Structure 1
């Protein structure tokens, strides 16, 4: 996977986390008691998924990039579990991963939660691919500090 010149905003999984964040804010207002802890937790998990991708992308260190992409992945998993809990606690059906019903997502709380579950699962797969690629790059090329140390040694050997 090659990092595009458009920055993190051009990454498909970042674009999806923007949608997830915006949708979750709307979903919470419509279907979750705003005074409940779940309301804040869902919004924060959605925000964290998005923000940690942007922060991770800007890191020079592959180690830090891997760490922040992992935090984003963890936040999305937390959010996914909140949507799954929402369906289970209300005895609503969980759709298959790519169910066509997701296209009519705002007509009911069941369809809204299922649409987000589909999108979060798809985004998590994209993030997993990027994480594997970044980890492989780290193994091949080393980390930021390791490469700086090599440059420092090369400089010292020249003088």
Structure 2
């Protein structure tokens, strides 16, 4: 049976699953704080985030009997996270908040943290907000090169210093960029494995053919 039903599952160890799960947690919290509870967008964002997580898990679990289905579900997860990416971008654009470029100092610091939990993301948001204000809550004068660079990116925006909503949305977009990259790589690998090894049907035919030859040999007919 190990030849017919190989080891499968193990999705919790996938980096794509771990990042997608964090995106789900961040999105649930984000929607609770910043999206009207009567808005369809709130449900759509939450469901898109959940779909990313659930389809990675389901695809991994069904991989034993259908490699094609695993590829399909992984693609569904990828599409769901792309939809969620657009929702976060719309949130920023409609409120005239900046979408920070990858080299923005705040995002550089975020990526260096490699957050694994919602709480770690929340700590980063709080730290970045504190960077932009003095003890009286006023915008702090930029003194370092990094801080001057950060100010230049957002100088034309009302989001300076960066608000919690702006920071949280950009953190989610950074995580989504990582997750979609990982899923693209995952689909490529799955496609190569399927091309080289086949799927359940091919394994079933191979095993049945081997058994038939064995029976014929035992019966002295081969």
TM-score normalised by the chain length of structure 2: 0.66
More displaced 10-residue stretch of structure 1: 94-103 or 7-16: 94-103
Q: 1:53 aligns with which of 50, 53, 56?
A: 56
Which residue in 1 is equivalent to 2:179?
123
Q: 1:70 aligns with which of 64, 71, 75?
A: 75
Q: 2:12 aligns with which of 9, 15, 19?
A: 9
Which residue in 1 is equivalent to 2:192?
136
CA RMSD of aligned residues (A): 2.0
Relative contact order: is structure 1 or structure 2 higher (C-alpha 8 Å, sep ≥ 6)? 2
Q: 2:34 aligns with which of 12, 24, 31?
A: 31
Change (3 A) 1:13 1:99: farther
Aligned-pair CA distance for 1:81: 0.7
Q: Please give the alpha-carbon distance, in whole angstroms, between the structure 2 residues aligned to 1:97 and 1:19.
A: 19
1:59-96 Cα offsets, whole Å, 9 max, x none, are 11211111111111011001011101111111111111
- The yes-or-no answer on 1:105 pairing with 2:125 is yes
Residues 87, 110 of structure 1: 8 Å contact kept: yes
- The yes-or-no answer on 1:93 pairing with 2:98 is yes
**Bigger proportion of residues as helix:** 1
- The yes-or-no answer on 1:82 pairing with 2:99 is no
SS at structure 1 position matched to 2:18? helix
Bigger Rg, structure 1 or 2: 2
Gaps of 5+ in 1: none
Residues 9, 57 of structure 2: 8 Å contact kept: no
Aligned-pair CA distance for 1:26: 0.3
Gaps of 5+ in 2: 1-7, 111-123, 127-162, 216-222
Residues 75, 187 of structure 2: 8 Å contact kept: yes
Residues 46, 76 of structure 1: 8 Å contact kept: yes
TM-score normalised by the chain length of structure 1: 0.90
Change (3 A) 1:38 1:117: same
1:88-115 Cα offsets, whole Å, 9 max, x none, are 1111111113533243436521111111
